[in-house]
Structure 1
């Protein structure tokens, strides 16, 4: 997963008053990193959320969208300062969020990236470790399966 999360795209202590504000913030950040229109990214994320919440339970949000404009998966990993309502399937507030933007092309590794991230985040021990990470470097190391610095 280290190819998905650049060091600058791992955030600890981000504040967001609600889900919409969080998705808008992440869309702006992704747009700046990828040279894409943040409003287009926000619209794609919003459309995906209309299909059903990407709050997967246990305090984890996995907002994602497929975009024609990218050739490889891109992600932002966030540990929020305070949990927020996310319409999660278990109704629990979310404090760990992984934004994934995936290529539309079915030949890409986008589906594999989404499945891998979802599988890893379901590991309760990993989720607890992510919540306890002291900084962004440690958070990224844990998410990517490295020995933490």
Structure 2
């Protein structure tokens, strides 16, 4: 499984304009709602419940919000580069400007963890983070996110 299995061109947002963590999660939920047959409000609720367990801001300006959705058929990702970094209660207290949200079927525990590991691997790479931050379009974000996995596919 590569990121191109989790992310589609339609699941990428370039220069998302938000002013806080909740607005970012709402925008991601709205986008995900367009990709899957679930309400944005239900998706947002799932993301907020997960955030209550601990922030998904993993450091280096990156957040990986995620959750499980009943009735979802496959794991779906949404990638956003924020126009301006926002406070996300990240582990390193740094604001976040790269967000990759994952939604998984309720029963997809192992696959969900594998998908999170794939996304984490991408964002641990400083060069990949910088390339994503320098992307000038949604198409470029998608290409960088999915091409990078080819280098780490082993």
TM-score (norm 2): 0.90
Residue 69 of structure 1: SS of its match in structure 2?
coil
Residue 3 of structure 1: SS of its match in structure 2?
helix
Partner of 2:105: 103
Please tell me whether the aligned partners of residues 72 and 108 of structure 1 are also in contact (alpha carbons under 8 angstroms). no
- Deviations along 1:23-65, one digit per CA (max 9) or x if unpaired, are 1121122112212111111111000000000000000011100
Distance 1:57 1:107 in 2: 24
- Deviations along 1:84-131, one digit per CA (max 9) or x if unpaired, are 000000000000000110122146622211111011111111101111
- Structure 2 vs 1, CA of residues 61 and 136 (structure 1 numbering), >3 Å: closer, same or farther? same
**Aligned length in residues:** 147
Partner of 2:73: 71
Match of 2:125 among 123, 126, 133: 123
Distance 1:113 1:35 in 2: 20
Partner of 1:41: 43
Residue 2 of structure 1: SS of its match in structure 2?
helix
Higher helix share: 2
Please tell me whether the aligned partners of residues 56 and 62 of structure 1 are also in contact (alpha carbons under 8 angstroms). yes
Consecutive unaligned residues in structure 1, runs of 5 or more: none
Residue 99 of structure 2: SS of its match in structure 1?
strand
Residue 81 of structure 1: SS of its match in structure 2?
strand
Alignment of 1:1-149 (within 5 A): 1-106=3-108, 109-145=111-147
TM-score (norm 1): 0.93
